Structures are given as C-alpha cells and as structure tokens.
Chains A and B, each alone.
Chain A
Amino acid sequence: GQSLEQPSEVTAVEGAIVQINCTYQTSGFYGLSWYQQHDGGAPTFLSYNGLDGLEETGRFSSFLSRSDSYGYLLLQELQMKDSASYFCAVLNDYKLSFGAGTTVTVRA
C-alpha cells in the first residue's frame, strides 16, 4: 500500500511565504507532483519532481528528497487568488496517488 501525509490547513497573509510538507510511503516511486484545486474547480498541475532538489516555477517552488521520502511546495508572495487546496501526489506504476490535500487560506 501507500500513504501520503500533508497538513490539512494553512492560513497566511498576503505577501507571506507558505511551505506545504508532504511525506509519503510507497513502492515503485517515480516522482512527486503537486496540484492546485480551487473550490468547485478542476485540479491543475503545478509542478513535478522526479529527481532530488528544487524546481522553481515563478512564485511556486517544489522540493524532493527521495532518501527522506519527503517533499514540499513553497508558495511565495502569497496572493488572494492562491487560496485553494493543494495536493501532493506520488507517481508510481504510471499512475498518481493523491494526498488528502492542504487548504490554504490567504488573508488580506
């Protein structure tokens, strides 16, 4: 089996930095993806880490440590539109298995 752990909720103010941690247990691990989902909307792809290290895409960065079975998503310069749920997902056997998600609330 497999499991993913991520915090259920995070609240921060505009302009702040938020880090969402994700720890996982799985076999046949290929990589870690992150998705964003606004309330009532479709999940949208943010980033993927297949190798250890940091991937940066604009205000969002994602990190992976295979040896620690750990990754994180870093949201910088938070904006109100970043209020959403964020899911980490492990890729193995050509499929994604999602965590329960972290709800990020950005306050003015």
Chain B
Amino acid sequence: EAGVVQSPRYKIIEKKQPVAFWCNPISGHNTLYWYRQNLGQGPELLIRYENEEAVDDSQLPKDRFSAERLKGVDSTLKIQPAELGDSAVYLCASSHGFGTGPNEQFFGPGTRLTVL
C-alpha cells in the first residue's frame, strides 16, 4: 500500500512570494489533514477535510493561507504571500473516517519550507 505522498520535499522562497504544497493521501482515506510543524515542536493542525469538505479550518490563517481538496482526493495548501515566520515543515496526513480513524493518522514526509 502506497503511503501519503507530498511534493515538493523542500522549498526555498523569498518572503512575499507565493508557495503551494501538494498531497496525495492513502487510497480510500476520506479524511485529510494539513499540519505545520515548527522546529522542536509537535505538529499543529491547520485544516481537516472529510472528503472534499473542510470541516475544521479554525486554525488556518485565512488571510494568507488557503487549501482545497477537489474531488475529495488530492489536496493543495497555498500560502500567499509567505512571511519569514512561515518557515516550517508542512505535513499532510490521512486516515479512515471516524471510529479508529482519527487517532491513527498516516503522515507524509512533509515539505520543508524556508522563507528568506
């Protein structure tokens, strides 16, 4: 079974530039999560999708961050414009629906973003 795929693995941009991250979850997983992980910290949830619906985006900085999950499979997370404080690892995870799903999430390798 293929794992969660993310691209790119690394991204270096100048501040005020836009950036986008892509995620392909495990086949059959209807729940998709985007997290941000700062150095030395645990992952922090940005947004959770159930199929194509964003059911929890309370922690997404909506002034500059946006996300979509068209057709309930792949997802993209965008930052525009990026700020220095956005430097972090952006992790995508997926899981089965509620039941045993949310506690066992499968993470991708992440995209390490550096904003200069």
Is A43 touching B43 in the complex (CB atoms < 8 A)? Answer: yes
B109 to chain A, nearest CB (A): 5
Would B103 and A95 count as touching, CB distance under 8 A?
no
Q: By DSSP majority rule, is chain A's interface helix, strand, loop, or mixed? A: strand
Smallest beta-carbon distance B63→chain A, Å: 22
Partner of B42, one of A30, A42, A94, A98: A98
Any A CB within 8 A of the CB of B45? yes
Q: A42-B91, A42-B109 are in contact. Are A100 and B98 (CB under 8 A)?
A: no
Known A42-B91, A43-B91, A94-B98; contact A87-B106, beta-carbon cutoff 8 A: no
- Complex: A43 Cα to B36 Cα, angstroms: 12
Which of under 10, 10 to 19, 20 to 34, or 35 or more describes the interface residues of B? 20 to 34
Indicate whether A99 reaches chain B with its CB closer than 8 angstroms.
yes
- Indicate with 1 or 0, residue by residue over B46-60, a CB within 8 angstroms of chain A CB atoms: 001000000110000
- CB neighbours (8 Å) of A48 from chain B are 100, 103-104
Closest CB-CB distance, A83 to chain B, in whole Å? 16
| Residue pair A31, B103 in contact (C-beta under 8 Å) | yes
CB distance from B34 to the nearest CB of A (A): 12
Chain B positions 83-116 with a Cβ under 8 Å from a chain A Cβ: 91, 93, 98, 100, 102-110
| Chain A residues within an 8 Å CB radius of B93 | 43
Q: Can you add 18 more A-B contacts, CB < 8 Å, to A94-B98, A96-B105?
A: A31-B103, A33-B104, A41-B109, A42-B4, A42-B108, A42-B109, A43-B93, A44-B107, A45-B104, A45-B105, A50-B103, A91-B102, A94-B48, A94-B56, A96-B45, A98-B42, A100-B41, A101-B40
Q: Offer 19 A-B interface pairs, CB within 8 angstroms, sorted by A.
A: A31-B103, A42-B4, A42-B110, A43-B107, A45-B103, A48-B100, A48-B103, A50-B103, A87-B42, A89-B42, A94-B56, A95-B33, A95-B45, A96-B45, A96-B103, A96-B105, A98-B43, A100-B42, A101-B41
* Chain B residues within 8 Å of A, Cβ to Cβ: 4, 33, 40-45, 48, 55-56, 91, 93, 98, 100, 102-110
Residues of A within 8 A of B (CB): 30-31, 33, 41-45, 48, 50, 87, 89, 91, 93-101
